[in-house]
Chain A
């Protein structure tokens, strides 16, 4: 297994478009790194540059300390699982998995052992004689994984490997990949636009937007301390509520005002606003739906703000819980409720927020001020 180092890596196309800009990342041995972001953010391009399928136009890529910018894909000792699986349609499952070893002139016995071991791990033993066209999506996905495993490469690259699977299978395979990572002790770089995959699989997550890396952190830190508005909005589903609030001094703390509503903040967040010179200015308040509490809901252990009225516009029962979307004076807000709640569309309710969970962002730079 291996470590990777990306130093000022960039991708500029002949038409001048910059797909990836000044990408810096150190990936340690055995890490499970996730590249996540919306379509066109450069995450797949970065992965393909690591694979050698795209030229790196600036910067340096090192695998185990060796610069590999100009090294052929086959000589980088990496394996990739494609979104479309990219199986060889004319070869059986066995031949697909044996192919990389056959090209490396590995002897037949060793190939056979490696293929059968991979097939056993991935439960493909009964499918070895089938062609890809006779396999289901999930089976194909496992074959693609098997083809990567047999080579025991330094680094595994996975480009949205689960996005063509149905929801149930995706959850299953997600768990399989996680187990595989533990079992192989492999360095894995995984691209997805699904933030649930990112949160559940990654040891660290790289959030990207418009070719620029926004934040690299553990899933927990990313969720609790997003560095800017984009990350705050992208990670978490449904997404964080954002409300523009006017900051004013109120005793030892500050008051955040939106419409006719006011929330009082004290402690480090209030201090950060004061010290940052935000008093008298408008900032963005971010609060996740699970941290918005309806007045009848159980809220032990939370530090709640003043309540404010809200008018429910949409009620969605999700089974174990419910979601509401409501208009408040000065904005809109979504909140989790218990499934037993009597609130429905059209209800006039009173809400409060957990002040410990408020995130504050600069309105101009969109950077986080305090969490």
Chain B
């Protein structure tokens, strides 16, 4: 009797699990897996995004590696991603340490620093576009950074960093609060104060947060899109074309649908490899708490 009752309870529970799982799975397959596989298929065609197309085998992939514009977009994307990821993490960790100390208006300040996170990338991009086009030149007497091939990427990094710091800071605050207070107290008695305290205690103990933030920020930066659309449209002279922007622009507007699908597949692999490599490397630095 008991085992029948138990198996009935078990099957009820399974039904509940399935009822929760299936709708999500259907949506995920419909909007993620199928488009991914469709894109993978189109990457072997010469599709313009409309009309008839032919299978061209690996030609798109071969062309990709010979296309200077694609190469430049990868270089640009890697440049802004590496610079932004480092800046975001350094600034956020500094902010988080400040916002975790005994200061007045701590909660209010934490709220203010989180505001960029709730604004859309496009909105922020347009606001900063105005700022760099009109306000900065008016104050400094120079031309707009966004119109300069040498400086436009810096303006984009400024916006990316400004916006990404919000979430990264929150994750660091959480990480810092998970370090037991008594460890710091023991450190204070042992002589770990100031820089020693950070170097020997705080830094190793928040390694899990550092891993999370490095991977998340790097991934977000590699996929930069909104800010490019709002600020430079890839210009001047294609000097700020991120990979995502190039895929969108040439894939949907310039009849290179098949070719850019191949680009997207390669890009997907690149991001996955970087994220896995980062996670593996940083996990090895993490300490078991």
Contacts and interface: CB of A to CB of B under 8 A. Distances in A.
Interface of A: 51-53, 72-74, 78-80, 82, 84, 86-90, 99-100, 103-104, 131, 133, 147, 151
Interface residues of B, number: 21
A135 B254 CA distance: 64
B289 A89 contact: yes
Contact of A88 (B186, B188, B207, B288): B186
Contact of B190 (A52, A74, A131, A133): A74
Interface of A is mostly: loop
A142 to B, nearest CB: 15
Interface string B193-233: 10010001100110100000000000000000000000000
Given A86-B185, A90-B289, A74 B193 contact: yes
Contacts of A52: 188-189
A176 to B, nearest CB: 20
A80 B288 CA distance: 24
Contact of A103 (B180, B185, B191, B207): B191
Given A89-B205, A89-B288, A103-B196, A51 B182 contact: no
Contacts of A151: 190
B287 interface: yes
Contact of A74 (B188, B288, B289): B188
A234 B193 CA distance: 40
Contacts of A103: 190-192, 196, 200
Contact of B186 (A80, A90, A133): A80
Contacts of B205: 89-90
A179 B204 CA distance: 36
A90 B204 contact: yes
Closest 10 CB pairs between A and B?
Answer: A90-B287, A103-B191, A100-B190, A86-B182, A86-B186, A74-B191, A90-B204, A73-B188, A89-B289, A73-B189
11 contacts: A51-B185, A74-B191, A74-B192, A74-B193, A88-B200, A89-B183, A89-B288, A89-B289, A100-B190, A103-B192, A131-B288
Contacts of A82: 182, 185-186
Given A79-B189, A100-B190, A131-B288, A86 B183 contact: yes
Chain B interface helix/strand/loop/mixed: helix
A65 B201 CA distance: 33
Contacts of B183: 86-89
A51 B189 contact: yes
A52 B187 CA distance: 12
Interface of B: 180, 182-183, 185-193, 196, 200-201, 204-205, 207, 287-289
Contacts of B182: 82, 84, 86
Contacts, number: 69
A30 to B, nearest CB: 21
Nearest to A90: B287
A79 B201 CA distance: 18
A104 B200 CA distance: 14
Given A53-B189, A89-B205, A133-B288, 5 more contacts: A74-B191, A82-B182, A86-B183, A88-B201, A89-B287
A137 to B, nearest CB: 15
A151 B207 CA distance: 29
A147 B190 contact: yes
Contacts of B289: 89-90, 133
Contacts of A90: 204-205, 207, 287-289
Contacts of B180: 84, 86
Contacts of A87: 183, 186
A167 B25 CA distance: 52
A184 B199 CA distance: 32
Q: Which of A52, A88, A131 has the most CB of B within 10 A?
A: A88
A90 B180 CA distance: 12
Contacts of A86: 180, 182-183, 185-186
A208 B191 CA distance: 31
Contacts of B190: 74, 99-100, 103, 147, 151
A104 B191 contact: yes
Nearest to B184: A86
A72 B287 contact: no
Contacts of A79: 189
Contacts of A74: 188-193
A46 B196 CA distance: 27
A72 B197 CA distance: 14
Interface-central residue, A74, A87, A131, A133, by most chain B CB under 10 Å: A74
Contact of B185 (A53, A78, A99, A133): A53
Contacts of A104: 191
A100 B185 contact: no
Contacts of A72: 188, 193
Nearest to A89: B289
A111 to B, nearest CB: 13
Contacts of B187: 88
A59 B259 CA distance: 79
Contacts of B287: 89-90, 131
Contacts of A147: 186, 190
A2 to B, nearest CB: 15
B260 to A, nearest CB: 46
Nearest to A74: B191
Nearest to A53: B185
A84 B181 CA distance: 11
